Structure 1
Amino acid sequence: MTTHPAPPDAGPAAYLRRRTGLIVPLLLLVTGVVLGVGTLTMDVPANVASPGPQLFPTIVAVACVVFAVLLGVDVLRRPEPAQVAALTSATTEAPPTQAHDIADGAEEAEDAEATRPRSNRWAVTGVVGTVVAFIVLLVPLGWLLSGALLFWGVSRALGSRRPVFDVFLSIAISSTVQLAFSAGLGLSLPPGILAGVF
């Protein structure tokens, strides 16, 4: 006797199962709120010229909140297809004795499998590792080198296959940010081992 999973739209658990994408907007919202609170409570010297060090964090915090709201609305309006949610929950929750029953709907499973979202763990690991390396190396290496490493590592983790081009582009971006902070805002980023050179 073949048992079929419950209808995908039944109950609050099924509602949330089709909207697991809300995790990203939630994390983005928390990041924006924490950054906003940190920006508002920042100690700014009285002699700092406008626009001051609170400008960029404010822009990033507002952008995080706006994008979090837009992404959240999009996930709520267009949830995961019911077949994908049912297949995902069935394969992760069903006991081994029911595995052959789930496989009976071969055509639906194949269609759902074709549209099933897949995570890229290597890309996430590469990006997180690059950010951690950037944080550790910022003070000893300085912004110019560690920032270039950050941009290069993220581009490689996200699939770029032009390492030499990425090196030059990363150094150019890092240098542009350095100039924007020093010339535009009058702030100096950590020089690291290049102290006295620039």
Structure 2
Amino acid sequence: MTTTGDTTPETTKTPETTEAPTAARTSWLREHSELGVSALLFLLGVLVLTDALTMTVDIGQRGPVGPRTVPLVVGAGLLVVAVLLAVDVLRGGRGEAEGGEDIDLTEPSDWRTVLLLAGVFLGFAVLIGPLGFPVSGALLFWGAAYALGSRHHHRDPLIAAALSLLTYVVFNNLLGVPLPGGPLMGVL
């Protein structure tokens, strides 16, 4: 017994829109966002290795461990971690979401705090040369405390000045790491 016609309805194909590939690409990138961290680690590893291999080294060095050893190990380690992370992400691995008790993952990012902290660090980098570490460090500690929410306007500058001076004395005088003193150190 043979049938004369197929009774199943034909499936009609709808024309693809241009939004589908864009949505699929965005979805893939969102699912594999850890590849960005992998790329950053890889670039950082290449930078560290390049810098280590191009540094000038005194030929009179004794022993197998020289100034290139640690940067070479760190650079190679960064490359290995970057490749392993990329392989893990491409195989379907995903980082675990933050599960801290005090973090509300539904809240948006606090860009005001991030920008204030970035401004404080940039200000520190600009002011450390002309003002020295004690003054610019105090401004760094005070600005960071303000950006992170402290509003004790009388106490915070005093604590910042004490921390900055203590840090300066420990590094400059006790550890022998020279920090720029600035004009205030001529007075003290």
Counting matched residue pairs gives: 141
Q: Which of residues 84, 91, 94 is equivalent to 1:76?
A: 94
Q: Distance in 2 between matches of 1:11 and 1:123?
A: 34
Cα pair distance change 1:143/1:130, threshold 3 Å: same
Provide the residue aligned with 2:170 in structure 1.
Answer: 180
Q: TM-score, normalising length from structure 1?
A: 0.50
- Give the aligned residue type for 2:157: V
| 1:122 equivalent in alignment to 2:112 | yes
CA contact (8 A) 1:18 1:79 kept: no
In the TM superposition, what whole-angstrom CA distance separates every residue of 1:63-89 from its partner, at most 9, and x where no partner exists?
xx7xx98xx89x933259xxxxxxxxx
CA contact (8 A) 1:19 1:79 kept: no
| Pairing 1:48-197 to 2, within 5 Å after superposition | 76-79=94-97, 115-197=105-187
How much does 1:127 deviate? 1.0
Q: Which runs of 5+ in 2 are unaligned?
A: 1-19, 59-66, 99-103
Q: Which has the higher helix share?
A: 1
Q: 1:19 offset after TM fit, Å?
A: 5.8
Aligned to 1:14: 27
Counterpart amino acid of residue 149 in structure 1 = L
Superimposed CA distance per residue, residues 112-152 of structure 1 (whole angstroms, 9 cap, x where no aligned partner): xx853412121121111111211221111110010110111
- CA deviations on 1:138-191 (whole Å, 9 max, x unpaired) are 111110010110111112112222232221221122122212212332132111
Q: How does 1:40-51 map to 2 (within 5 A)?
A: none
CA contact (8 A) 1:134 1:149 kept: yes
Scaled by the length of structure 2, what TM-score is found? 0.52
If you compute each CA radius of gyration, which structure gives the higher value, 1 or 2?
Answer: 2
Kindly tell me: are residues 35 and 78 of structure 1, through their superposed partners in 2, closer, same or farther at Cα, counting changes over 3 Å? Answer: same
Q: Could you tell me which amino acid in structure 2 is paired with residue 124 of structure 1? A: V
Aligned-pair identity (%): 36
- C-alpha root-mean-square deviation of aligned residues, in Å? 4.4
Give the whole-Å Cα distance in 2 for the aligned partners of 1:33 and 1:188: 30
User: What letter corresponds to residue 94 of structure 2 in structure 1?
Assistant: L
